[in-house]
Chains A and B, each alone.
Chain A
Amino acid sequence: MARMTMIEAVRSAMDVSMERDDDVVVFGEDVGYFGGVFRCTQGLQAKYGKTRCFDTPINESGIVGAAIGMAAYGLKPCVEIQFADYMYPAYDQLTQEAARIRYRSNGDFTCPIVVRMPTGGGIFGGQTHSQSPEALFTHVCGLKVVVPSNPYDAKGLLTAAIADPDPVIFLEPKRLYNGPFDGHHDRPVTPWSRHDLGEVPEGYYTIPIGKADIRREGSAVTVVTYGTMVHVALAAAEETGIDAEVIDLRSLMPLDLDTIVKSVAKTGRCVVVHEATLTSGFGGEIAALVQEHCFYHLEAPVMRVAGWDTPYPHAQEWDYFPGPARVGRALIDVMEA
């Protein structure tokens, strides 16, 4: 075991996967020699050579399109979009191509690619360095969508994603790259080296895609969340004293509905939390599923805490980001409902 940040864990996942399988290739903008703007691919080109890890032109559709062609050939590309906010030029390739190749060719061709994208806000990133576009992927049949919340999961989920026979959108909350963040922006950030989940095995391991993890057991209310908001939800539970059960989904697609249903059946209450904007966000899907599957256990309406339905602002960062106060308020409201 070693202490790793999420950046180091992500890099380690690519390293062990490239070591294990010659067909794994890594590329994207500034990913090669420089090692990525977030250092996630540092050292990989020096170790595996320029044909396994390389820089690309600034062209997201080209990056994903080329990866799809390589996957059709038999490689396992793990590519990077520098910010999730810049995935839109590749959206056609992701939704109409990557997601559908197995289906439309009846398995004649497949698309085992991973598309890594730093996601989420809380870093004064403004409108195009803060978005959380996961709902634009969960709505697309044929894609898998994964969002880790800590180094241990990040590595295990990324190795699983690279080994997966289908296309995986791997969203890395950049706010969590260097340490857990509970929304208290006025306090110094603790590094991952002082967190249990910063303990990461150096070798190869996987965490199954499609399995949620319960971060905090509780009996009063179920909080369904993922990414940075896992840490915010944990803080909100401690600060309100409400005995919340915090579920870290880890995979949004496929979704671990069983873990959610079991928890809500126990607590009778559910709050869904995400950074992404509210309307048609993934929280709406969770709320609908909880209502369908847990209606007779529910003692209060299912509540959602999310980003406002606005573009992500710059100056008003902490009035936009759903911090522990807003999540705590929802926990109190759902208990009183």
Chain B
Amino acid sequence: MVEPAHLSLHVPEPAVRPGGEPDFSNVKIAKAGAVPRPPVDAAAEDIRDLAYSIIRVLNRDGEAVGPWAGLLTDDELRNGLRHMMTLRAFDARMLMAQRQGKTSFYMQHLGEEAVSCAFRKALQKGDMNFPTYRQAGLLIADDYPMVEMMNQIFSNEADPLRGRQLPIMYSSREHGFFTISGNLATQYVQAVGWAMASAIKNDSRIAAAWIGDGSTAESDFHSALVFASTYRAPVVLNVVNNQWAISTFQGIARGGSGTFAARGLGFGIPALRVDGNDYLAVYAVACWAAERARRNLGPTLVEYVTYRVGAHSTSDDPSAYRPKTESEAWPLGDPVLRLKKHLIVRGAWSEERHVQAEAEIMDEVITAQRKAEEHGTLHAGGKPSVRDIFEGVYAEMPPHLRRQRQQAGY
């Protein structure tokens, strides 16, 4: 063995940079239907392989195959397609609204619609999500009014958060959607605490934690896993691996770990890896993990393998750090097109109905936007009151805030 003359630091790099040919040849993708479906009480060490493979249901021909298939009816699938298409249309309109100056900021879900839309359907009323800023599908799939979402994005007079929050940082207890924070990963361990509380009270409700690939590097990711493992909290720990954290490829956060799912194994948490662009697979895996939690069998870590097709946010230009055509080369395709194809193969959908649905959905989104804009946009029309700056810091306004509110003229 040759002794090295000196040490050198390893800094991972993505396979390809702008100007290069997109290359996902090293992304190992299991065949649809190939990964077994273990019993929900399986021990983490007995299903290690699932943390390194990819659970998939839809094959290239759009057929649902294998042990994870067969959970959804035609109606449920059409509904799921509609939710994903709605989120996509919503994103498109809000992106445009940001470019028109109606709001300061927006973040799209392009390519990741299946993850949050399908997951929501595996939860029950009363369960609580602790989402990041890229799971608005949880709201859409639970029929939260789009007008309310837009009121928040426009920070207008009807904004349920009174103009205090950056656009898209929604909150809805009623819809099981915990208030979003700008601080990454903080909600991951809060979800575990919520689940622990439900267990302390011998309740039947469960929690779902959400994090992106990049944020798994935050210390709260570790905190959440150790707490979830220690107390066997009824929580589904979701990692959405969309390959990118702003400009940083997932290899920087993942390091030498084979997969993000594999991180769960060290904590004794059963870990699954799933095709995040396969609505049926996401739903099936989410149901498996939710059932584990509900049966008091403890936490599950789920990695959703997907691709962030859009820019990180309206303040980002991805062409500066990755090839422009990379999303087209992404081997797991587009979640909307894949479910559409499956429904057509099933004989439950058609090209004509799809085109018609697209038009209807865009119409609904535009109608909602029109209603929201009646209450104002960021720089025009109705605004939240200056008084609202001072309310809600505490349950009761302390004297120093009352003095400051008076100074502000209210």
Contacts and interface: CB of A to CB of B under 8 A. Distances in A.
Interface of A: 25, 51-52, 56-57, 59, 61-62, 65-75, 77, 89, 92-93, 96-97, 100-110, 141-142, 144, 165-166, 210, 253-255, 257-258
A210 B189 CA distance: 31
B219 interface: yes
Given A65-B220, A96-B181, A104 B161 contact: yes
A106 B227 contact: no
29 contacts: A61-B223, A65-B193, A65-B224, A65-B227, A66-B189, A71-B193, A72-B178, A72-B193, A72-B194, A75-B197, A75-B201, A92-B220, A93-B189, A93-B220, A96-B182, A96-B186, A102-B392, A102-B393, A103-B392, A104-B165, A105-B173, A106-B160, A106-B162, A107-B392, A109-B171, A109-B173, A109-B178, A165-B395, A254-B394
Interface centre among B160, B162, B226, B227 (most CB of A within 10 A): B227
A170 to B, nearest CB: 16
A34 B148 CA distance: 50
Nearest to A59: B223
A32 to B, nearest CB: 12
Contact of B200 (A62, A75, A255): A75
Interface in B170-202: 171-173, 178-179, 181-183, 186, 188-201
Interface string B387-401: 000001111001110
Given A65-B220, A257-B399, A57 B230 contact: yes
A143 to B, nearest CB: 9
B196 A254 contact: no
A150 B68 CA distance: 62
Contacts of A71: 193
A68 B395 contact: no
B290 interface: no
B179 A104 contact: yes
A108 B176 CA distance: 11
B378 interface: no
B207 interface: yes
A70 B392 contact: no
Given A66-B189, A69-B207, A166 B395 contact: yes
Interface in B19-51: none
Contacts of A51: 199-200
A39 to B, nearest CB: 24
Contacts of A66: 189-190, 192-193, 196, 227
B130 interface: yes
Contact of A57 (B130, B190, B227): B227
B181 A255 contact: no
A102 B395 CA distance: 8
B190 A65 contact: yes
Given A96-B186, A109-B178, A110-B395, A103 B164 contact: yes
Contact of A106 (B161, B194, B219, B222): B161
Contacts, number: 145
Contact of A69 (B130, B165, B201): B130
B240 interface: no
Interface of B: 128, 130, 160-162, 164-165, 169, 171-173, 178-179, 181-183, 186, 188-201, 207, 219-220, 222-224, 226-227, 230, 392-395, 398-400
Contacts of A109: 171, 173, 178-179
B298 to A, nearest CB: 15
A69 B192 contact: yes
Given A65-B190, A109-B173, A70 B230 contact: no
Contacts of B230: 56-57
Given A61-B189, A92-B186, A108-B172, A73 B398 contact: no
Contacts of B198: 73
Interface centre among B182, B222, B398 (most CB of A within 10 A): B398
Nearest to A75: B197
A66 B165 CA distance: 23
A141 B390 CA distance: 11
A13 to B, nearest CB: 21
B200 A25 contact: yes
B291 to A, nearest CB: 21
A62 B392 contact: no
Given A96-B181, A96-B186, A69 B197 contact: yes
Given A25-B200, A69-B190, A106-B160, A97 B226 contact: no
A252 to B, nearest CB: 12
A106 B164 contact: yes
A68 B190 contact: yes
B190 A72 contact: yes
Contacts of B393: 102-103, 141-142
B227 A59 contact: yes
Contact of B194 (A57, A69, A97, A166): A69
A92 B192 contact: no
A77 B171 CA distance: 22
Contact of B220 (A61, A102, A107): A61
B191 A69 contact: yes
A257 B165 CA distance: 31
Contact of B226 (A52, A62, A69, A141): A62
Given A69-B193, A93-B189, 14 more contacts: A51-B200, A57-B226, A61-B223, A62-B223, A73-B193, A74-B197, A75-B201, A92-B220, A96-B183, A102-B393, A103-B393, A106-B160, A210-B398, A257-B399
